[in-house]
Structure 1
Amino acid sequence: YIEMPDDLTGRLEGRSSIGRLGVVVHSTAANIECGFRGRIVLELANMGRIPVKLYPGMRICSISFETLTSPAEVPYYKKKSAKYVNQKNP
């Protein structure tokens, strides 16, 4: 579970070591919006020809954060279109 401040945004990226095995960590949802509150869902897919074992604690992705110069006017949790506020499950 993560609670993003209103002045911080994030981006999820797969690690190259796992990508070279054919594993995609996210298909479309790489951005973590200011004000997001909930669980980050990984959209894992094996695009390779061989099975890949993933283990608890294995480093498969990273998140980079960027601070805005001012808080978002409408953070994610205040958007009427926000579908995933406080999500606990995928």
Structure 2
Amino acid sequence: MAVLAKSEITKMIKSGDLNITPFELSQIGAGSIDLHLGDEFRIFRSHKGIIDVSEAIEHGSISELVKAGKSGIILKPGQFINGITKESIKLPKNISGRIEGRSRFARVGLLVHVSSGFVQPGSDGRVVLEIANLSKVKLRLIPGIKICQIILEEVKGSGGYSGNYLHQQHP
């Protein structure tokens, strides 16, 4: 697998093989594409019982979908929430993606994706971000900021994602 450089990413976007909406060419870096934070978040409710971690877990029953205003959302120390990218991304079946946080935010204790940073080949939708505040201070998340980047890699052979989160639009 090889990481796609700016020239290859630009070529794929112009040919329509890679689709990102909304998008500006200035989002493309040397080997990645900047993605922005959307305005929807999934906030987990306090729960005194035990939640079984299984394939049957239902996130909606333990969380609330919240739309943030222009002033953003406050993430308390130790708090975990789901966010989502502003952009919807449609990858071809021979390209996968890897979400990486930005160093400037990691240095203040913000994790942008806790564990599932892999975007399957053929995925089509917005990327859910598992966001955690590891610092000892409150952090304000403002919709529209460049929150992360996606690194695109060529997949040997042809895959195609058809899982539960295909066409996802909400965290």
2:32 counterpart of 1:32: no
Q: CA RMSD in A?
A: 1.3
The one-character-per-residue Cα deviations of 1:11-58 (angstroms, maximum 9, x if unpaired) are: 001111100100010111100010111210111111100112222332
Give matches, 1:2-81, under 5 Å.
2-72=89-159, 75-77=160-162
User: Taking every aligned residue pair, what percent have the same amino acid on both sides?
Assistant: 37
Q: 2:112 and 2:129 mapped to 1: Cα distance?
A: 6
Aligned counterpart, 2:168: 87
Q: 2:150 and 2:89 mapped to 1: Cα distance?
A: 12
Larger Rg: 2
Q: Shift of the alpha carbon at 1:62?
A: 0.9
Report the TM-score when normalising by structure 1: 0.83
Greater relative CO, 1 or 2 (CA 8 Å, sep 6+): 1
Gaps of 5+ in 2: 1-87
Structure with the higher fraction of residues in strand conformation: 2
Runs of 4+ with deviation above 4 angstroms: none
